[in-house]
Amino acid sequence: MLLRLPKVMQETALCRSSIYAAISEGRFPPPVRIGRRAVAWRLKDIEAWKARLPQAGPVRWE
């Protein structure tokens, strides 16, 4: 399944500029070309990226 940019932004909570900056730094999966002027991301690549994110620890109320 392929995701277009608005859905990728929704799934990752990142803005367009952050996504493309992370791609250029090698920290985010690059899109695949689906047309002359269109790109999309593979769902499995986005899911793998999310799985590699550090998980937040438990909240400690003191």
Domain presence at residue 57: no
pLDDT at residue 56, rounded to an integer: 73
Q: Quick: pLDDT tens for 5-41.
A: 999 999 999 999 999 999 999 999 999 999 999 999 9
Residue 4 is given by DSSP the state -
List the domain range (segments joined by +) for residue 24. 2-52
Domain total for the chain?
Answer: 1
Domain presence at residue 10: yes
pLDDT at residue 51, rounded to an integer: 93
Q: What is the DSSP string of 7-61?
A: HHHHHHT--HHHHHHHHHTTSSPPPEEEETTEEEEEHHHHHHHHHHSPPP-----
- Decide: pTM greater than 0.75: yes
Domain presence at residue 61: no
Is the separation of the CB atoms in 38 and 46 below 8 Å?
no
Domain presence at residue 28: yes
Domain presence at residue 14: yes
Domain presence at residue 59: no
